[in-house]
Each structure stands twice: as C-alpha cells, then as structure tokens.
Amino acid sequence: MGAIMPADITELEDQLVGAEREAEALVLRLSEEKGTARPETGGWSVAECLDHLATANRVYLKAMQEPAQRARKRGRLRRGPAKPGWPGRFFCYMLEPPPKWWSKLKAPGVIRPRLSPPLGESFAAFEASQAEMIAFLRAHADLDLASIRFRNPFVSWISFTLATGLHVTGAHERRHLAQAWRIRRALERKAP
C-alpha cells in the first residue's frame, strides 16, 4: 500500500503504538524487585502482565499469518475498513478495562505468563511483539481485513476476521496494562 494509510489502519497502529508507550511509562523507574512482585491479594506481577501480552501477541500473530498470506495469493484486496462485526465488537468490549464482573476470563495455558520472569526481559519481549504486530498490520493493510477469517488459537470452534483479531489485540493490551498499573500503584502506596 502507498505511504498514506486509511484512517482505520492508522487508528489500529496508533492503538499498538499507544500500548507500547504505556508500557514504557509503566516500567520507567520501576525496580526489578517491584516489577516482579506479586500483589498481596494474588494475581500477576507487572512483569508477568507484560510477559502474558508478549506471548498472547505472538500466538495471535502466528494464527493470523497464514490466512493473510493465503488471502494475498487470492488477491483479496481491501474493500472496506478494518472493523469487526458485532460479535467481534462484543468480544473487544469484554476485554476493555476495567474488567466487567461478568467477563472475568482466565488466560489459556498457552499464554499464561512464565513464573516470575525478569522485568526487563518481559518488557523487551512485549516491545518485540508490538513491532511484529505493527509490521503485520502495515504489510497487510491493503487486504480486506474485515472479511479474512482465522481460527481463534484459544477457542478452536471460533473464527475471527483479521480486523477483529487486531482490535482484540488492542483491547487485550489495554486490559492488562491497566492491571499492571494497578499493581504498580498498589506497590508504591505500600512502600515506606
């Protein structure tokens, strides 16, 4: 595609870049000790949240690659904006922060974070996954992302469009970055 991206593609890229900036601010001046500390109430550490996002992004991207390549070979070029349909919009809504009481989702085993990963390593992995996701978006912006389907890597009987997958990625990142900020703030309030 040319240098000028459609507004919907730019919006998706802005979401990904925004999440990366949010993660940069999150880890800024955060010690390894605090970054790997789990909340007293249970749950993941900041590093585990970032590790989870990096892993989820890689798994989602892997599931989206082959359908995108197949669509390119078939010449399925863009016919409209990269927007999810109503089921995709609802799924994104469920993922958006704050978590809804009725949408507490447990991470599938394949994307659960490693136990106590180093903060710097988790952040670097998240940044790398963001770069890969942005590269995917740019490389396939000229495809009809709203009609090309891929099998959800976590729920095999569900398929999403690539547009939905990209929007889900943004919502999922906002959810866990908000979670990580809550953890950091709680640790900072507790510190002497």
- Nearest-angstrom CA–CA distance, 151 and 156: 6
Angle between helices 7-27 and 119-139 (to 10 degrees): 170
Chain-centroid distance of CA 143 in Å reads 21
C-beta of residue 121 within 8 angstroms of C-beta of residue 49: no
Spans of the chain, pLDDT less than 50: 1
pLDDT of residue 1: 46
What is the reported pLDDT for 108? Answer: 75
What does the alpha-carbon distance between residue 82 and residue 142 come to, in Å, rounded to a whole number? 10
pLDDT for res 99: 74
3-class secondary structure, 43? coil
- Environment class of 53 (CB within 10 Å of its CB; exposed 0-12, middle 13-18, buried 19+): buried
Packing angle, helices 162-190 and 46-73, rounded to 10 = 170
Alpha-carbon distance of 106 to 96, in angstroms, equals 15
Predicted local distance difference test score (pLDDT) of residue 161? 96
Residue 12: per-residue pLDDT: 96
The CATH homologous superfamily to which domain 12-190 belongs is dinb family like domain (1.20.120.450)
Q: Is 55 exposed, middle or buried (0-12, 13-18, 19+ CB in 10 A)?
A: buried
Please give the C-alpha separations between residue 174 and each of 13, 63, 117, in angstroms, as whole numbers. 14, 21, 20
pTM: 0.92
